[in-house]
Protein backbone atom coordinates (compact mmCIF):
# COMPACT_ATOMS: atom_id res chain seq x y z
CA UNK A 1 0.00 0.00 0.00
CA UNK A 2 1.42 3.36 -1.10
CA UNK A 3 -0.15 6.41 0.51
CA UNK A 4 2.29 9.00 -0.91
CA UNK A 5 1.18 11.21 -3.81
CA UNK A 6 3.23 11.02 -7.00
CA UNK A 7 4.81 14.01 -8.74
CA UNK A 8 1.97 13.98 -11.30
CA UNK A 9 -0.56 13.99 -8.49
CA UNK A 10 1.17 16.93 -6.84
CA UNK A 11 1.04 18.75 -10.19
CA UNK A 12 -2.66 17.98 -10.33
CA UNK A 13 -3.06 19.48 -6.85
CA UNK A 14 -1.55 22.73 -8.15
CA UNK A 15 -3.97 22.70 -11.08
CA UNK A 16 -6.95 22.29 -8.77
CA UNK A 17 -5.75 25.10 -6.51
CA UNK A 18 -5.33 27.43 -9.49
CA UNK A 19 -8.82 26.56 -10.75
CA UNK A 20 -10.40 27.23 -7.35
CA UNK A 21 -8.53 30.51 -6.94
CA UNK A 22 -9.92 31.66 -10.29
CA UNK A 23 -13.44 30.23 -10.28
CA UNK A 24 -14.61 30.00 -6.68
CA UNK A 25 -16.22 33.41 -6.36
CA UNK A 26 -16.25 35.52 -3.23
CA UNK A 27 -20.04 35.08 -2.98
CA UNK A 28 -19.74 31.28 -3.09
CA UNK A 29 -17.01 31.33 -0.45
CA UNK A 30 -19.06 33.64 1.76
CA UNK A 31 -22.11 31.39 1.44
CA UNK A 32 -20.13 28.26 2.33
CA UNK A 33 -18.65 30.01 5.37
CA UNK A 34 -22.15 30.64 6.76
CA UNK A 35 -23.54 27.16 6.01
CA UNK A 36 -25.32 25.35 8.84
CA UNK A 37 -26.45 22.26 6.88
CA UNK A 38 -24.61 19.61 4.90
CA UNK A 39 -26.66 20.81 1.90
CA UNK A 40 -26.32 24.09 0.04
CA UNK A 41 -29.43 25.88 -1.14
CA UNK A 42 -30.49 24.76 -4.61
CA UNK A 43 -29.51 27.99 -6.46
CA UNK A 44 -26.05 28.00 -4.88
CA UNK A 45 -25.46 24.29 -5.51
CA UNK A 46 -26.49 24.63 -9.16
CA UNK A 47 -24.40 27.79 -9.68
CA UNK A 48 -21.28 25.98 -8.46
CA UNK A 49 -22.26 22.84 -10.38
CA UNK A 50 -22.45 24.79 -13.66
CA UNK A 51 -18.93 26.11 -13.10
CA UNK A 52 -17.63 22.60 -12.43
CA UNK A 53 -19.51 21.15 -15.43
CA UNK A 54 -17.81 23.64 -17.74
CA UNK A 55 -14.47 22.41 -16.39
CA UNK A 56 -15.53 18.75 -16.65
CA UNK A 57 -15.11 18.28 -12.89
CA UNK A 58 -18.69 18.05 -11.60
CA UNK A 59 -18.84 14.25 -11.52
CA UNK A 60 -15.28 13.00 -10.87
CA UNK A 61 -16.32 9.42 -10.14
CA UNK A 62 -18.34 8.96 -13.35
CA UNK A 63 -16.82 7.30 -16.42
CA UNK A 64 -15.51 9.77 -18.98
CA UNK A 65 -18.09 8.75 -21.59
CA UNK A 66 -20.85 10.03 -19.31
CA UNK A 67 -19.16 13.29 -18.37
CA UNK A 68 -16.73 12.10 -15.70
CA UNK A 69 -13.29 13.60 -15.18
CA UNK A 70 -11.27 10.47 -15.87
CA UNK A 71 -9.48 10.73 -12.53
CA UNK A 72 -8.16 7.95 -10.40
CA UNK A 73 -9.00 7.60 -6.72
CA UNK A 74 -6.01 9.71 -5.68
CA UNK A 75 -7.04 12.64 -7.88
CA UNK A 76 -10.58 12.48 -6.51
CA UNK A 77 -9.22 12.57 -2.95
CA UNK A 78 -6.93 15.49 -3.74
CA UNK A 79 -9.91 17.31 -5.24
CA UNK A 80 -11.88 16.73 -2.02
CA UNK A 81 -8.99 18.07 0.07
CA UNK A 82 -8.60 21.21 -2.03
CA UNK A 83 -12.36 21.88 -2.13
CA UNK A 84 -12.41 21.72 1.68
CA UNK A 85 -9.36 23.96 2.06
CA UNK A 86 -10.76 26.52 -0.37
CA UNK A 87 -14.13 26.63 1.39
CA UNK A 88 -16.22 25.57 -1.61
CA UNK A 89 -19.92 24.84 -1.14
CA UNK A 90 -21.06 21.25 -1.72
CA UNK A 91 -23.06 20.08 -4.70
CA UNK A 92 -26.33 18.30 -4.09
CA UNK A 93 -25.31 14.63 -3.76
CA UNK A 94 -28.67 13.17 -4.75
CA UNK A 95 -28.13 13.38 -8.50
CA UNK A 96 -24.39 13.22 -9.11
CA UNK A 97 -23.29 11.04 -6.21
CA UNK A 98 -26.30 8.75 -5.79
CA UNK A 99 -28.77 8.49 -8.67
CA UNK A 100 -25.99 8.87 -11.24
CA UNK A 101 -23.98 5.88 -9.98
CA UNK A 102 -27.19 3.82 -9.77
CA UNK A 103 -27.91 4.57 -13.41
CA UNK A 104 -24.34 3.92 -14.50
CA UNK A 105 -24.18 0.61 -12.65
CA UNK A 106 -27.70 -0.72 -13.17
CA UNK A 107 -29.53 1.44 -15.72
CA UNK A 108 -30.28 0.69 -19.35
CA UNK A 109 -28.56 2.56 -22.18
CA UNK A 110 -31.74 4.53 -22.82
CA UNK A 111 -31.97 5.53 -19.14
CA UNK A 112 -28.32 6.59 -19.04
CA UNK A 113 -28.61 8.58 -22.27
CA UNK A 114 -31.68 10.40 -21.00
CA UNK A 115 -30.97 11.07 -17.33
CA UNK A 116 -27.21 11.47 -16.95
CA UNK A 117 -26.93 14.64 -19.10
CA UNK A 118 -29.94 16.10 -17.27
CA UNK A 119 -28.28 15.44 -13.91
CA UNK A 120 -25.16 17.32 -14.98
CA UNK A 121 -27.10 20.23 -16.48
CA UNK A 122 -29.29 20.54 -13.39
CA UNK A 123 -32.41 20.14 -15.53
CA UNK A 124 -33.32 17.26 -13.22
CA UNK A 125 -32.87 18.02 -9.53
CA UNK A 126 -33.22 14.86 -7.44
CA UNK A 127 -34.36 13.75 -4.03
CA UNK A 128 -34.09 10.35 -2.34
CA UNK A 129 -37.19 8.34 -1.40
CA UNK A 130 -35.93 5.77 1.11
CA UNK A 131 -37.09 6.33 4.72
CA UNK A 132 -40.71 5.89 5.76
CA UNK A 133 -42.36 6.70 9.10
CA UNK A 134 -41.89 3.09 10.23
CA UNK A 135 -38.83 2.22 8.09
CA UNK A 136 -35.79 4.37 8.71
CA UNK A 137 -32.60 2.56 9.66
CA UNK A 138 -34.62 -0.65 9.24
CA UNK A 139 -35.09 0.27 5.60
CA UNK A 140 -36.14 -3.22 4.49
CA UNK A 141 -39.38 -2.71 6.44
CA UNK A 142 -40.62 -0.21 3.85
CA UNK A 143 -44.20 -0.65 2.64
CA UNK A 144 -44.80 1.99 -0.04
CA UNK A 145 -46.48 -0.13 -2.71
CA UNK A 146 -46.11 -0.23 -6.47
CA UNK A 147 -48.75 -2.37 -8.20
CA UNK A 148 -48.57 -3.29 -11.89
CA UNK A 149 -51.21 -1.77 -14.12
CA UNK A 150 -50.52 -2.18 -17.82
CA UNK A 151 -47.31 -0.36 -18.75
CA UNK A 152 -47.10 1.41 -15.38
CA UNK A 153 -46.89 0.92 -11.63
CA UNK A 154 -49.46 2.56 -9.39
CA UNK A 155 -47.71 3.83 -6.25
CA UNK A 156 -49.27 4.44 -2.84
CA UNK A 157 -47.61 5.25 0.47
CA UNK A 158 -45.29 7.86 1.93
CA UNK A 159 -41.66 8.82 2.46
CA UNK A 160 -40.22 11.00 5.20
CA UNK A 161 -37.12 13.11 5.93
CA UNK A 162 -36.87 13.67 2.18
CA UNK A 163 -34.26 16.36 1.63
CA UNK A 164 -35.18 19.03 -0.94
CA UNK A 165 -38.32 17.16 -2.07
CA UNK A 166 -40.03 20.56 -2.30
CA UNK A 167 -37.46 21.66 -4.88
CA UNK A 168 -36.80 18.39 -6.72
CA UNK A 169 -38.56 17.42 -9.93
CA UNK A 170 -37.41 13.79 -9.72
CA UNK A 171 -37.09 11.18 -6.96
CA UNK A 172 -35.22 7.88 -6.94
CA UNK A 173 -37.33 5.70 -4.73
CA UNK A 174 -37.53 2.27 -3.14
CA UNK A 175 -40.99 0.70 -3.44
CA UNK A 176 -42.54 -2.60 -2.45
CA UNK A 177 -43.49 -4.64 -5.53
CA UNK A 178 -43.77 -8.00 -3.74
CA UNK A 179 -44.55 -8.60 -0.07
CA UNK A 180 -44.51 -12.40 -0.13
CA UNK A 181 -40.85 -13.05 0.73
CA UNK A 182 -38.15 -11.76 3.06
CA UNK A 183 -38.21 -8.01 3.71
CA UNK A 184 -35.15 -7.38 1.51
CA UNK A 185 -36.84 -9.17 -1.37
CA UNK A 186 -39.63 -7.64 -3.39
CA UNK A 187 -38.17 -4.10 -3.34
CA UNK A 188 -37.78 -2.22 -6.63
CA UNK A 189 -35.70 0.87 -7.45
CA UNK A 190 -38.00 3.31 -9.25
CA UNK A 191 -37.65 6.84 -10.68
CA UNK A 192 -40.67 9.04 -9.95
CA UNK A 193 -41.63 12.37 -11.50
CA UNK A 194 -42.36 14.68 -8.56
CA UNK A 195 -44.78 16.70 -10.70
CA UNK A 196 -46.99 13.65 -11.41
CA UNK A 197 -50.62 13.77 -10.24
CA UNK A 198 -51.02 12.33 -6.73
CA UNK A 199 -47.66 13.49 -5.31
CA UNK A 200 -47.93 15.78 -2.27
CA UNK A 201 -45.01 17.33 -0.39
CA UNK A 202 -45.41 18.62 3.17
CA UNK A 203 -42.60 20.58 4.89
CA UNK A 204 -40.76 19.47 8.02
CA UNK A 205 -39.05 22.33 9.86
CA UNK A 206 -35.77 21.49 11.57
CA UNK A 207 -34.76 22.54 15.09
CA UNK A 208 -32.46 25.08 13.50
CA UNK A 209 -35.46 26.65 11.75
CA UNK A 210 -34.94 25.81 8.08
CA UNK A 211 -37.14 23.93 5.64
CA UNK A 212 -34.95 21.28 4.00
CA UNK A 213 -36.71 18.06 5.00
CA UNK A 214 -40.16 16.94 3.88
CA UNK A 215 -42.81 14.26 4.12
CA UNK A 216 -43.96 13.05 0.70
CA UNK A 217 -47.28 11.31 0.07
CA UNK A 218 -48.21 9.23 -2.97
CA UNK A 219 -51.85 8.59 -3.88
CA UNK A 220 -52.36 6.41 -6.97
CA UNK A 221 -49.28 7.88 -8.66
CA UNK A 222 -48.68 6.26 -12.05
CA UNK A 223 -45.01 5.60 -12.88
CA UNK A 224 -43.96 4.06 -16.22
CA UNK A 225 -42.37 0.62 -16.01
CA UNK A 226 -39.55 2.08 -18.06
CA UNK A 227 -38.51 3.96 -14.90
CA UNK A 228 -37.40 0.79 -13.09
CA UNK A 229 -33.62 0.77 -12.52
CA UNK A 230 -32.17 -2.74 -12.51
CA UNK A 231 -34.50 -5.69 -12.12
CA UNK A 232 -37.96 -5.69 -10.59
CA UNK A 233 -37.87 -6.99 -6.98
CA UNK A 234 -34.07 -6.60 -6.84
CA UNK A 235 -33.82 -2.95 -5.86
CA UNK A 236 -32.23 -3.83 -2.52
CA UNK A 237 -29.02 -4.65 -4.37
CA UNK A 238 -28.94 -1.15 -5.88
CA UNK A 239 -29.84 0.46 -2.55
CA UNK A 240 -27.08 -1.34 -0.63
CA UNK A 241 -24.50 -0.24 -3.19
CA UNK A 242 -25.55 3.39 -2.91
CA UNK A 243 -25.68 3.30 0.89
CA UNK A 244 -22.08 2.06 0.99
CA UNK A 245 -20.96 5.16 -0.85
CA UNK A 246 -23.31 7.48 1.04
CA UNK A 247 -21.79 6.22 4.29
CA UNK A 248 -18.15 5.91 3.39
CA UNK A 249 -17.54 7.02 -0.17
CA UNK A 250 -16.82 10.64 0.70
CA UNK A 251 -13.93 12.21 2.56
CA UNK A 252 -14.68 13.36 6.11
CA UNK A 253 -11.08 14.04 7.11
CA UNK A 254 -10.26 17.10 4.95
CA UNK A 255 -13.48 18.90 5.90
CA UNK A 256 -13.12 18.14 9.59
CA UNK A 257 -9.52 19.35 9.59
CA UNK A 258 -10.55 22.53 7.77
CA UNK A 259 -13.18 23.19 10.46
CA UNK A 260 -10.60 22.56 13.20
CA UNK A 261 -8.21 25.06 11.64
CA UNK A 262 -11.03 27.59 11.60
CA UNK A 263 -11.85 26.96 15.28
CA UNK A 264 -8.22 27.33 16.28
CA UNK A 265 -7.88 30.56 14.29
CA UNK A 266 -11.05 32.06 15.81
CA UNK A 267 -9.99 31.08 19.33
CA UNK A 268 -6.58 32.71 18.83
CA UNK A 269 -8.06 35.90 17.32
CA UNK A 270 -10.53 36.26 20.21
CA UNK A 271 -7.89 35.48 22.84
CA UNK A 272 -9.77 32.33 23.91
CA UNK A 273 -7.11 29.76 23.07
CA UNK A 274 -6.28 28.84 26.66
CA UNK A 275 -4.57 25.60 27.61
CA UNK A 276 -7.82 23.72 28.23
CA UNK A 277 -9.44 24.64 24.91
CA UNK A 278 -6.19 24.09 23.01
CA UNK A 279 -6.02 20.58 24.51
CA UNK A 280 -9.56 19.83 23.31
CA UNK A 281 -8.74 21.04 19.83
CA UNK A 282 -5.56 18.96 19.71
CA UNK A 283 -7.37 15.79 20.76
CA UNK A 284 -10.04 16.37 18.11
CA UNK A 285 -7.34 17.09 15.55
CA UNK A 286 -5.59 13.81 16.37
CA UNK A 287 -8.88 11.94 15.81
CA UNK A 288 -9.50 13.75 12.53
CA UNK A 289 -5.98 12.95 11.35
CA UNK A 290 -6.48 9.30 12.26
CA UNK A 291 -9.73 9.28 10.28
CA UNK A 292 -7.96 10.89 7.34
CA UNK A 293 -5.28 8.19 7.50
CA UNK A 294 -8.00 5.52 7.42
CA UNK A 295 -9.55 7.26 4.42
CA UNK A 296 -6.20 7.23 2.66
CA UNK A 297 -5.97 3.51 3.31
CA UNK A 298 -9.49 3.10 1.91
CA UNK A 299 -8.44 5.18 -1.09
CA UNK A 300 -5.61 2.73 -1.70
CA UNK A 301 -8.05 -0.17 -1.52
CA UNK A 302 -10.47 1.54 -3.92
CA UNK A 303 -7.69 2.20 -6.42
CA UNK A 304 -7.25 -1.57 -6.62
CA UNK A 305 -10.89 -2.05 -7.57
CA UNK A 306 -12.38 -2.56 -4.11
CA UNK A 307 -15.49 -1.02 -2.57
CA UNK A 308 -15.91 0.68 0.82
CA UNK A 309 -17.52 -2.46 2.30
CA UNK A 310 -17.50 -2.58 6.11
CA UNK A 311 -15.13 0.39 6.21
CA UNK A 312 -18.08 2.52 5.08
CA UNK A 313 -19.78 1.91 8.43
CA UNK A 314 -16.62 2.78 10.36
CA UNK A 315 -16.12 6.00 8.39
CA UNK A 316 -19.73 6.98 8.88
CA UNK A 317 -19.60 6.48 12.66
CA UNK A 318 -16.31 8.32 13.19
CA UNK A 319 -17.00 11.06 10.67
CA UNK A 320 -20.44 12.03 11.93
CA UNK A 321 -19.64 11.74 15.63
CA UNK A 322 -16.47 13.77 15.28
CA UNK A 323 -18.40 16.36 13.28
CA UNK A 324 -20.92 16.60 16.12
CA UNK A 325 -18.06 17.03 18.59
CA UNK A 326 -16.74 19.95 16.56
CA UNK A 327 -20.15 21.64 16.77
CA UNK A 328 -19.93 21.27 20.56
CA UNK A 329 -16.51 22.93 20.57
CA UNK A 330 -17.90 25.73 18.39
CA UNK A 331 -20.71 26.25 20.90
CA UNK A 332 -18.19 26.44 23.73
CA UNK A 333 -16.16 28.96 21.79
CA UNK A 334 -19.22 31.09 20.96
CA UNK A 335 -20.33 31.22 24.59
CA UNK A 336 -23.39 33.38 25.19
CA UNK A 337 -23.35 34.55 21.56
CA UNK A 338 -24.65 31.10 20.56
CA UNK A 339 -27.98 31.89 22.24
CA UNK A 340 -29.60 34.37 19.80
CA UNK A 341 -31.74 32.66 17.13
CA UNK A 342 -30.83 34.50 13.93
CA UNK A 343 -31.00 32.06 10.99
CA UNK A 344 -31.42 34.92 8.52
CA UNK A 345 -27.72 35.66 9.06
CA UNK A 346 -26.71 32.09 8.15
CA UNK A 347 -26.83 29.96 4.98
CA UNK A 348 -29.12 27.14 6.14
CA UNK A 349 -29.64 25.29 2.84
CA UNK A 350 -33.30 26.22 2.56
CA UNK A 351 -35.87 28.85 3.50
CA UNK A 352 -36.42 29.77 7.15
CA UNK A 353 -40.15 30.44 7.53
CA UNK A 354 -40.83 33.61 9.46
CA UNK A 355 -37.36 35.06 8.88
CA UNK A 356 -37.36 35.80 5.14
CA UNK A 357 -36.53 39.44 4.63
CA UNK A 358 -35.68 40.03 8.29
CA UNK A 359 -33.41 43.03 8.66
CA UNK A 360 -32.39 42.82 12.30
CA UNK A 361 -28.63 43.31 12.74
CA UNK A 362 -26.27 40.51 13.66
CA UNK A 363 -25.90 39.91 17.39
CA UNK A 364 -22.38 38.93 18.41
CA UNK A 365 -19.28 38.28 16.33
CA UNK A 366 -19.50 36.88 12.82
CA UNK A 367 -17.57 33.79 13.96
CA UNK A 368 -20.38 32.75 16.35
CA UNK A 369 -23.41 33.15 14.11
CA UNK A 370 -23.55 29.55 12.86
CA UNK A 371 -22.64 27.82 16.12
CA UNK A 372 -26.07 26.92 17.51
CA UNK A 373 -27.77 26.27 14.15
CA UNK A 374 -24.93 23.99 13.03
CA UNK A 375 -25.06 22.16 16.36
CA UNK A 376 -28.80 21.52 16.02
CA UNK A 377 -28.60 20.52 12.36
CA UNK A 378 -25.70 18.14 12.91
CA UNK A 379 -27.68 16.06 15.44
CA UNK A 380 -29.05 14.26 12.37
CA UNK A 381 -25.57 13.18 11.29
CA UNK A 382 -25.53 10.07 13.47
CA UNK A 383 -28.98 9.08 12.17
CA UNK A 384 -29.04 9.64 8.42
CA UNK A 385 -27.65 7.01 6.00
CA UNK A 386 -28.38 4.39 8.66
CA UNK A 387 -28.08 5.29 12.34
CA UNK A 388 -24.72 4.79 14.01
CA UNK A 389 -26.25 2.09 16.23
CA UNK A 390 -27.09 0.19 13.05
CA UNK A 391 -23.55 0.76 11.75
CA UNK A 392 -22.09 -0.73 14.93
CA UNK A 393 -24.37 -3.73 14.46
CA UNK A 394 -23.12 -4.15 10.89
CA UNK A 395 -19.51 -4.02 12.08
CA UNK A 396 -20.06 -6.46 14.96
CA UNK A 397 -21.74 -8.93 12.64
CA UNK A 398 -19.55 -8.55 9.56
CA UNK A 399 -16.16 -8.01 11.18
CA UNK A 400 -16.41 -9.77 14.53
CA UNK A 401 -18.95 -12.46 13.63
CA UNK A 402 -21.20 -11.59 16.60
The tens digit of pLDDT for each residue in 96-141 reads 999 999 999 999 999 999 999 999 999 999 999 999 999 887 888 9
pLDDT, residue 308, reads 64
The string of pLDDT tens digits covering residues 342-365 is 888 999 888 888 887 788 899 999
pLDDT, residue 246, reads 55
Helix axis angle, 26-33 to 42-55, nearest 10°: 130
Nearest to 130 by CA among 34, 236, 219, 204: 236
Secondary structure class of 261 (helix, strand, coil): helix
Question: What's the rounded Cα separation, in Å, for the pair 212 and 41?
Answer: 9
> 397: pLDDT confidence band, cut at 50, 70 and 90?
confident
pLDDT, residue 164, reads 95
Q: How many CA atoms lie within 13 A of 9 on its CB side?
A: 15
Question: What's the rounded Cα separation, in Å, for the pair 144 and 190?
Answer: 12
pLDDT, residue 248, reads 46
pLDDT value at 64 more than 90? yes
For the segment 16-22, the average pLDDT, to the nearest whole number, is: 97
pTM of the model: 0.88
pLDDT value at 201 more than 50? yes
For 109-241, CATH number?
2.40.110.10
pLDDT value at 76 more than 60? yes
Question: What's the rounded Cα separation, in Å, for the pair 230 and 340?
Answer: 49
Beta bridge partners of 202: 215
- Residue 324: exposure state from Cβ atoms within 10 A (0-12, 13-18, ≥19): middle
Question: What's the rounded Cα separation, in Å, for the pair 91 and 35?
Answer: 13
For the segment 76-88, the average pLDDT, to the nearest whole number, is: 92
Q: How far is CA 67 from the centre of its chain?
A: 20
For the segment 318-334, the average pLDDT, to the nearest whole number, is: 96
pLDDT, residue 197, reads 98
The string of pLDDT tens digits covering residues 268-296 is 999 999 999 999 999 999 999 999 888 88
What are the helix and strand counts (H, E) for the chain? 13, 8
Contacts of 247 (CB under 8 A, 6+ apart): 308, 312, 313, 315, 316, 385, 386, 391
Which superfamily is assigned to 7-91 in CATH?
Acyl-CoA dehydrogenase/oxidase, N-terminal domain (1.10.540.10)
Question: What's the rounded Cα separation, in Å, for the pair 193 and 210?
Answer: 25
For the segment 391-399, the average pLDDT, to the nearest whole number, is: 86
What mean pLDDT value characterizes the chain?
A: 91
In the chain, where the domains are located: 7-91, 109-241, 250-398
The better pLDDT of the pair 132, 402 is held by 132
pLDDT, residue 400, reads 83
In this chain, the answer to whether the domains covering 7-91 and 250-398 adopt an identical fold is no
Question: From 3.40.190.10, 1.10.287.110, 1.20.140.10, 3.90.1150.10, which CATH number describes the 250-398 domain?
Answer: 1.20.140.10
The string of pLDDT tens digits covering residues 234-256 is 999 898 777 665 544 557 888 99
The string of pLDDT tens digits covering residues 165-193 is 999 999 999 999 999 988 889 999 999 99
Amino acid sequence: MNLAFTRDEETFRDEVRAFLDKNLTADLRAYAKRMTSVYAAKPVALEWQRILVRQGWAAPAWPVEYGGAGWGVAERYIFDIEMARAGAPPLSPMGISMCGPALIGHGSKAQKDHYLPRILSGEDFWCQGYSEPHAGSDLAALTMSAVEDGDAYVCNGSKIWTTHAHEANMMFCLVRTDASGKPQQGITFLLIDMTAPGVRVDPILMLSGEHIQNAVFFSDVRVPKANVIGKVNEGWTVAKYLLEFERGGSSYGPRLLARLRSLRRIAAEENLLDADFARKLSRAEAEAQALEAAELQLMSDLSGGGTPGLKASMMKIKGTELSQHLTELALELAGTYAAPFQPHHTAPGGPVPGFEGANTPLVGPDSAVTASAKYLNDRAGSIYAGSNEIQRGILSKGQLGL
